[in-house]
Amino acid sequence: MSVNYKIAIDGPAAAGKSTVAKRVAKALNYTYIDTGAMYRAVTYAVIKAGLDPQNEEQSITVLPGMSIDLLEDDTVLCNGEDVTAVIRTPLVSGNVSYIAAMKPIRLALVDMQRELANKRSVVMDGRDIGTYVLPNAEVKIFQIASVECRAKRRYDENVLKGIPTSMEDVIEDVKKRDYIDSHRDFAPLRQADDAIPLDTSDMTIEEVVDAILKIVEEKTGVKA
Ligand code: CDP
């Protein structure tokens, strides 16, 4: 029987986790699971239904029967609708941390995430993967970078994707989400005791990917 390995990459907003996680997954031929996209999809569904994303009683009504599919080509489907682009807009980014602080929503998404990780080897990125979703992950990375550096990365990404934002708005969004994500009661953003911290402020994407692949090899013996 082959082993299913779990690689958890956590860290604050816009630390470059998804870009790196995607490349690490590709190098190892594992499945990449973007848990942030799942919280973003629920946020979009709440807003689309005309509900208040700061109101838990209202927001949780979108859960029954809801489907979220993360496709191989990074397309995100929510109830069959392609939401890949809309979940990255400032409206969704500005509200996602309220939704992510709601316990019933986290429990529903964590169930889906654990089910996905049970079936195959995964690289999963998020906030609580090493501490809560996959506490037995063979490799846990806590990826950090300065606020300025993260905001610059997200700003450049937005420009590339044609999402209109200003640098000030991005800094504000990153700081606000970090605060809410690390202060919520249930499964907050926190470095797991056994996670390896990686400050990527002065590293290129390739350097971060190589560093993680090296850690994977040391911990599991799996070579990319
Ligand atoms: O890509 P970025 O770092 O900007 O964010 P993301 O990974 O897409 O996550 C968006 C938001 O979802 C975060 O700010 C958290 O509020 C929430 N999230 C979470 O609470 N737990 C996770 N495992 C993943 C995301």
Predicted confidence at residue 99, as pLDDT, reads 98
The DSSP output letter for 80 is: T
Phi, then psi, of 100 in degrees rounded to 5: -70, -15
Average pLDDT, the chain: 96
Calculate how far, in angstroms, residue 113's C-alpha sits from the geometric centre of ligand 1: 14
Give the model's pLDDT for residue 3: 84
The pLDDT-based confidence of 19 (bands split at 50, 70, 90) is very high
β-bridge pairing 139-144 and 6-10: parallel
Distance 218 CA to ligand 1 centre (A): 28
pLDDT tens digit sequence for 84-135: 999 999 999 999 999 999 999 999 999 999 999 999 999 999 999 999 999 9
Residue among 9, 17, 19, 39 whose CB has most ligand 1 atoms within 8 A, to mutate: 39
**pLDDT of 59 higher than 70:** yes
97 Cα to the center of ligand 1, angstroms:
7
Q: Distance (Å, rounded) from C-alpha 67 to C-alpha 112?
A: 10
Q: How much is the pLDDT for 173?
A: 96
What pLDDT is recorded for position 1?
A: 55
H-state helical runs in the chain: 17-28, 35-48, 56-59, 90-100, 103-119, 147-161, 167-183, 205-220
Count of alpha carbons within 13 angstroms of residue 176, beta-carbon side: 13
Q: For 157-185, write each residue's pLDDT tens digit.
A: 999 999 999 999 999 999 999 999 999 99
